[in-house]
Structure 1
Amino acid sequence: MHITYDETLKLFRLTAGDMLYAMGITDGAYLAHIYFGKNLPDADLTELLRLDEPPFTPSVNNRDKACYMDTLPFECPCFGLGDYREHAVEILDGAGMSTCDFRYVSHRIIPGKPGLPGLPATFGTEQQAMTLCILCRDEHADLELELRYSVFEQMHTIVRSAIVRNTGRADCRLKRLLSATLTLDGDGYDMLTLNGSWARERHVERCRLHMGKQRIDSMRGESSHQHNPFFALAEQGADEDRGVCYGLNLIYSGNFMAQAEVDQHHTTRAQIGINPTDFTWLLPPGEAFAAPEAVLVWSEEGLGGMSRTFHDLYRQHLIRSKYRALPRPVLINNWEATYFDFNEEKLLSIAREAAKLGIEMLVMDDGWFGHRDKDNSSLGDWYVYEKKLPGGLKSLVDKVRAMGLKFGIWFEPEMVSPDSDLYRAHPDWAIQVPGRELTLCREQYVLDYSRQDVREYVYGMLRDILTSADISYVKWDMNRQLTEVGSRMLPADRQRELWHRYVLGVYEMMERLVTEFPDLLLENCSGGGARFDPGMLYYSPQIWASDDTDAMERLKIQYGTSLCYPVSAMGAHVSDCPNHTVGRTTPFQTRGHVAMAGTFGYELDITKISPEDRGQIPGQIADYKRYSHIMRNGDQYRIGDPFGTAGYDAWIFVAKDKGEALFTYVQTLSRPNVRSRRIRLKGLNPESWYRCSENGKTYSGAYLMQAGLRMPNLWGDFQSRQIYLNKMEERA
């Protein structure tokens, strides 16, 4: 990694491995993007800005400066100066004017990676990272803009953020501050996005760019089931293994926008940041606003190379939990086993059977608090429902611990039920527009986490529960979006800040939780996967990927999620059949193989499943423990495509030293009268020899990747195979 500045050329070079990111300061002190891609030995890259052709620079052709502004590849384009493409920063000054003009003033290069106040952010030591801080200034508005660029050792990544400071004497309103803008030459790209809805999150869509703007976003107060704050721009024809790809991801859990715009000259402007819709932030003199970080990844090894860079970055420089590199306990969650219909004896019966089979943790899901027998009451009343647990929480936990199991518990601390003691005492604590009817969703409202008194009260209840018994795990849920976004506490001129202040309040609560309880395993959940984003990974090393636990549906969900996020972050469970979401029946073995491409656990009534299925559990757990280090720390290569028509999906995890690998094959549909398939593996050392657990034979890595393993047509739909490959010291 290296960051340099050439004073003569006014050229910044940021390198990591064989990646180069270059910027230049042009006539007028404008900061412009030059290049992002494979490292170049050339010292002078400034001619790539095309400043020697029409419309020329203002010093040569000031009569057409507006044309110059509308073509320059700005690093942080401002509103109102003649650049009519999507802008990244917009203000409203005391005179009601929205034009802003930030120009380069100075820069500094610092070792390491600074954080952001109140926001999740990547981290790195002085040996692991370097950061370029560029100071820009709008003299007329008396504002400063600091642009930060960080590079990490051997990572083909640029992490960007922006901070606006009011250095004047008058209030200013910030209307927009996107986290990153990237200009690419040409428009020969496909845009890949992760879209869906509840129970079918992060399905992959790939569309060719066209003139104009192509955008995904969220205005739900969460990153959302519908769109993930990630997109990729891939060269047309780029696939898993070949071609140039750029990935953009926002480290944020609230409203976002992500967009690619093709302009009149067929250049592409890619941007990501906080959604500017309904956003305003008051900046009094002396105050600052920090945009969340954006991650920009470059790959010349297709989508797979892009994904592996994201995975490594997040495992090494975003996830802080001690569990990021540790085996996760194999848990059983009672939700799909009992829903709200449980008591202490039912939970203990599940725990007894689980302990016999090697499961390590019992998680008590929704329904243990207040007087909650269904989902229409008690959110906000975080005290034990003694009708179900007459001995109290500690009594239950002690009994479970005596069986050799750890204990976990479910919360939904951002919500309040109309039928709750908390809401009856404090109806003003819900997010609301005074005088307007509140919109119910799942018969609950959202607490106003912009208020410190609300956060203090709720956190006090959480602390009381977590200190009352030996609890090892918390599942933090959020089951609805925001509506009627207003606060009884904020003044009128700060009401539009509530969207962002709410997210900051959630972050503060999670920060307090993991700081006070550092040994706690925190799993984020949001109605399933509505907050599967890097912001949550900063606090919780794993996120419940979806409420849909059907193995075939999970192939699509986990495939799409893996484009950006490591499998060590994907909560995945073996559930009962017929599946509770889609009614499909799949073999127990297949359910296990699919769930192992995640954190792995169970979500079923273990006391009621068939002896045949129950008998497979010890073997599944043993396999997961035997191979989880490869999945948790190794490289993932996608081989099949669950969205395609081939009738199978497949993937392989390869250890970093290429000494061992785990290959999984899932036949989604059986076929009549066909021969076997040859599945070409990926990521192995072609010169090494590997023993195959399937048949005991030894193959060269070259054979496995070029000729492939032969997979027979399996009897029945939804069948699977899992094969372990370990490198031999010499050919057997």
Structure 2
Amino acid sequence: MDIRYIEKDRIFVIETDNTSYVMGIVDEEGFLGHFYYGDKIGSEDSSYLLSIIDPQYTPSSNNRDRSSFLDRFPFEYPGSNVGDYRNTGVEITDANGNGSISLCYESHNIYKGKKELEGLPATFGNENDSMTLEISLVDKVVGLRAVLSYSVFEGIDAIARSVRFENISSEALFLNKAMSMMLDMEDEAYQLLTLHGSWARERMMEIRNIGYGDTFVESFRGESSHQFHPFMALVQDGDSQDNGKVYGFSFVYSGNFQAGVCKSQFDSLRLYMGICEKNFCWKLDSGDVFTAPEVIMNYSSAGLGKMTHTFHDLFRNHLIRSPYKDKERPVLINNWEATYFDFDSEKLIAIARQAQKSGIEMLVMDDGWFGERNDDNTSLGDWYVNENKIKGGLKKLVDEVNAIGLKFGIWMEPEMISPASKLYKAHPDWAISVPGREACRSRNQFVLDITREEVFEYVYGRIKDILSSANIEYLKWDMNRQLSDLGSAALGKDRQGELSHRYMLAVYALQDRLIKDFPNLLLENCSGGGARYDAGMLYYSPQIWCSDDTDAIERLKIQEGTSLVFPLSTMGAHVSDCPNHTVGRITPFKTRGDVALSGTFGYELDITKIPAEDRAAIPGQIANYHKYNELVRKGDYYRLASYRQNHEYDAWMITQKDGRKALITYVQVVAFPNGKRRIIKPKALDDSRIYEIWQDDNYAGAAKGTTLKNAGIAVPILNGDYRSMLIYLVAKE
């Protein structure tokens, strides 16, 4: 890694092991242009890139055609309303009601290490493993400074970008738009890859052509959302794992976002990512600062596979802070699909006893333990134990579960309030709402305005009291509805546009305080399943509930899209009951276990009622978890086949960094008649080593790494739909 400024050419060069990113200062006015991002190039050639700009169009040479320059120059961070008619990076309203802004070079600073982003999740680094460039741009007419920040990390081909805005004028300004990343580049037959979905079918991969104008995804639901994910990639060879240029972008933020690409009349592309401009307007008084969230940029010249490895390594080493990131997580059983709201202490204890006999390590008590919560119409906000269910109180239950030999975890939904709750009756104004308007209910609940100090302190106080009352070692933090009717009684009329972002900052502040007060707590985030499965939440929790759809076959597509960006160790994945509660499918218990193995692994069922044959299989599944988890947690993930594409079977691989061990998961989704064995070709093995091949713990021979990679492994036809096999490759010493 390296960052340097070539003063004679006024060029900035940012380098990772395999990539270069080049910017330069152009013209007397100091326009900052983007000239290159891709495979590593020689720094001595950097000045050559200035020839991209035709000097006859620079304003100092031809100010009569200033608009021609502004409308085609590859700006590093474009302003608005000055002659560049492409998508904008920042939009403002000044004290006179005007909206023109042009940001030009002022100064820069290069230093070792990386600063925190105040109040926001962000990648981290120290003076030995990271470097940062800050470039200050300024519009002296408006009085706004934008500080662009770029950080790189040792051994990782990624760049972390963010922007900080400073009001250096004497009057208030309004930020109406504040993108975290803008990137101008030439089109080279790229397509746009995004992740879409809905509840129970999150992060489905979609590739589309890029037409003229804007092609984008967004969320203004107050969360990153089930519908679209704060990720996009430009791909040159479709969804090839091994070929073509790929530019991947992940937003380290969990609220409203916008991500897309604008194609100009000159066939240039302008990529952008940041807070969604809908429902956003931030007032900057004189001297105020606004920090936009971080974007991770990731270039690969070797297809999606290399992009995936870079994201995984960066998130594991420079984003996830939890001590659990390097540990096996306890194998848990959650009572939600076992009992829903119909449980009491006796039922939970019965589940715990049987779970302990099977080798399960933690019991998690889900929704329904507080207030008068016997269904989902009441009691959110009343975070007091219902002793009609939890007889003798929470500590008594936890102590009994611990005595059985299990750890204890609990579910909460701290951000919500039910209209039928004691809290709402006492403080109806604590809910986000617009005065005089019938508020939109979702799941018959409202959202607490945690941007208000008294609400924030109440919510955190209840969380802390519950967790302090007993030996609770895990918390599932849920959020089951989106924001609407945006209004806060604590904000003036000139600041109502700040509510959505302030809300997200408050969520981050709550969780940051939580993990500092309870440093050994295993926190799992959830939002109606996967509506907040994003890089922002990983800063606070090492795992996120992947989807409420626990069906193993549906999870193939969900987990493929998720693992495109996020490490497998972050995916909350459980073996659930059959017929599956979401889709009604009946899937073999083994297949359910094999698919969940490529995640955090746990159970979501009533272990006292499942068939004896399934119960007898649990110890073996848990043994596999302990056997393979370090590989799953730390290894490189490779996609070998895609059920999403072929509609017949799925296969993926996790390889130890040194290539000595690998685990292939194969799922035959649809059986077929009169067929032949499939050939699966592993990747990233050591060519010269001999590998033993184990298929579901049965020895199946041995071969050199180069033979396995080129000739492949024959997988026998499995008998029936929804069948799976684990293939373990171990290098001989």
TM, length-normalised to structure 1: 0.99
Helix, strand or coil: the match of 1:697?
strand
Would the aligned equivalents of 1:55 and 1:64 in 2 still touch at CA under 8 Å?
A: no
One-letter identity of the residue aligned with 2:22: A
Rate the CA distance shift 1:462–1:272 in 2: closer, same or farther, 3 A.
Answer: same
Distance across 1 between alignment mates of 2:622 and 2:53: 65
Q: Which residue of 2 aligns with 1:205?
A: 206
Cα-Cα RMSD: 1.0
Q: Which residue of 1 aligns with 2:13?
A: 13
- How far the C-alpha of 1:322 sits from its partner, in A, is 0.3
Q: Which residue of 1 aligns with 2:707?
A: 703
Would the aligned equivalents of 1:211 and 1:263 in 2 still touch at CA under 8 Å?
A: yes
One-letter identity of the residue aligned with 1:594: V
Q: Which residue of 1 aligns with 2:721?
A: 717
Q: Which residue of 2 aligns with 1:660?
A: 661
Helix, strand or coil: the match of 2:156?
coil
Helix, strand or coil: the match of 1:9?
coil
Distance across 1 between alignment mates of 2:185 and 2:311: 20
Distance across 2 between alignment mates of 1:688 and 1:302: 26
Would the aligned equivalents of 2:250 and 2:295 in 1 still touch at CA under 8 Å?
A: yes
Would the aligned equivalents of 2:35 and 2:52 in 1 still touch at CA under 8 Å?
A: no
One-letter identity of the residue aligned with 1:435: G
User: What are the equivalent positions in structure 2 for 1:551-630 lying under 5 Å apart?
Assistant: 551-630=552-631
Distance across 2 between alignment mates of 1:139 and 1:714: 70
Distance across 2 between alignment mates of 1:465 and 1:278: 34
Does the alignment pair 1:676 with 2:677? Answer: yes
Rate the CA distance shift 1:563–1:49 in 2: closer, same or farther, 3 A.
Answer: farther
Q: Which residue of 2 aligns with 1:475?
A: 476
TM-superposition CA deviations, 1:419-452 (whole Å, max 9, x none): 1011000000000001111111001000001111
User: What are the equivalent positions in structure 2 for 1:344-355 lying under 5 Å apart?
Assistant: 344-355=345-356
Distance across 2 between alignment mates of 1:703 and 1:670: 28
One-letter identity of the residue aligned with 2:665: T
Deviates more, 1:565-574 or 1:54-63: 54-63
Distance across 2 between alignment mates of 1:544 and 1:215: 26
User: What are the equivalent positions in structure 2 for 1:268-417 lying under 5 Å apart?
Assistant: 268-417=269-418
- How far the C-alpha of 1:645 sits from its partner, in A, is 2.3
Distance across 2 between alignment mates of 1:200 and 1:288: 39
User: What are the equivalent positions in structure 2 for 1:17-416 lying under 5 Å apart?
Assistant: 17-27=17-27, 28-51=29-52, 53=54, 56-237=57-238, 239-416=240-417
Helix, strand or coil: the match of 2:45?
coil
- How far the C-alpha of 1:696 sits from its partner, in A, is 4.2
User: What are the equivalent positions in structure 2 for 1:505-584 lying under 5 Å apart?
Assistant: 505-584=506-585
Distance across 2 between alignment mates of 1:111 and 1:394: 48
**Count of equivalent residues:** 729
TM-superposition CA deviations, 1:632-653 (whole Å, max 9, x none): 0010001111211251100010
Would the aligned equivalents of 2:237 and 2:303 in 1 still touch at CA under 8 Å?
A: no
- How far the C-alpha of 1:46 sits from its partner, in A, is 4.0
One-letter identity of the residue aligned with 2:207: R
TM-superposition CA deviations, 1:280-333 (whole Å, max 9, x none): 000001110000000000011210110110000000000000001111110000
Would the aligned equivalents of 1:55 and 1:67 in 2 still touch at CA under 8 Å?
A: no
Would the aligned equivalents of 1:187 and 1:262 in 2 still touch at CA under 8 Å?
A: no
Helix, strand or coil: the match of 1:106?
strand
TM-superposition CA deviations, 1:50-80 (whole Å, max 9, x none): 4553762112222111111111111111011
Distance across 1 between alignment mates of 2:436 and 2:127: 54
Unaligned runs of 5+ in 2: none
Rate the CA distance shift 1:644–1:238 in 2: closer, same or farther, 3 A.
Answer: closer
Unaligned runs of 5+ in 1: none
Distance across 1 between alignment mates of 2:221 and 2:595: 30
TM-superposition CA deviations, 1:695-714 (whole Å, max 9, x none): 24111111111111001221
Helix, strand or coil: the match of 2:60?
helix
What fraction of aligned residue pairs are identical, expressed as a percent?
54
Would the aligned equivalents of 1:135 and 1:147 in 2 still touch at CA under 8 Å?
A: yes
Does the alignment pair 1:728 with 2:728? Answer: no
Distance across 1 between alignment mates of 2:277 and 2:618: 49
Rate the CA distance shift 1:646–1:700 in 2: closer, same or farther, 3 A.
Answer: farther
One-letter identity of the residue aligned with 1:643: R
Distance across 2 between alignment mates of 1:545 and 1:238: 22
TM-superposition CA deviations, 1:384-426 (whole Å, max 9, x none): 0111012100000000000110000000000000010110000
Distance across 2 between alignment mates of 1:350 and 1:426: 38
Helix, strand or coil: the match of 1:43?
helix
Would the aligned equivalents of 1:187 and 1:266 in 2 still touch at CA under 8 Å?
A: no
One-letter identity of the residue aligned with 1:422: L
Distance across 2 between alignment mates of 1:338 and 1:393: 18
Distance across 2 between alignment mates of 1:595 and 1:55: 61
Helix, strand or coil: the match of 1:498?
helix
Helix, strand or coil: the match of 1:644?
helix
Helix, strand or coil: the match of 1:583?
coil
TM-superposition CA deviations, 1:231-262 (whole Å, max 9, x none): 11011356101111010111001000001111
Distance across 2 between alignment mates of 1:97 and 1:206: 39
- How far the C-alpha of 1:683 sits from its partner, in A, is 1.7
TM, length-normalised to structure 2: 0.98
Would the aligned equivalents of 1:10 and 1:25 in 2 still touch at CA under 8 Å?
A: yes
Distance across 2 between alignment mates of 1:57 and 1:390: 77
Distance across 2 between alignment mates of 1:257 and 1:553: 27
Would the aligned equivalents of 1:251 and 1:293 in 2 still touch at CA under 8 Å?
A: yes
Helix, strand or coil: the match of 1:44?
helix
Would the aligned equivalents of 1:187 and 1:268 in 2 still touch at CA under 8 Å?
A: no
Distance across 2 between alignment mates of 1:437 and 1:636: 48
Q: Which residue of 1 aligns with 2:488?
A: 487
Distance across 1 between alignment mates of 2:240 and 2:463: 47
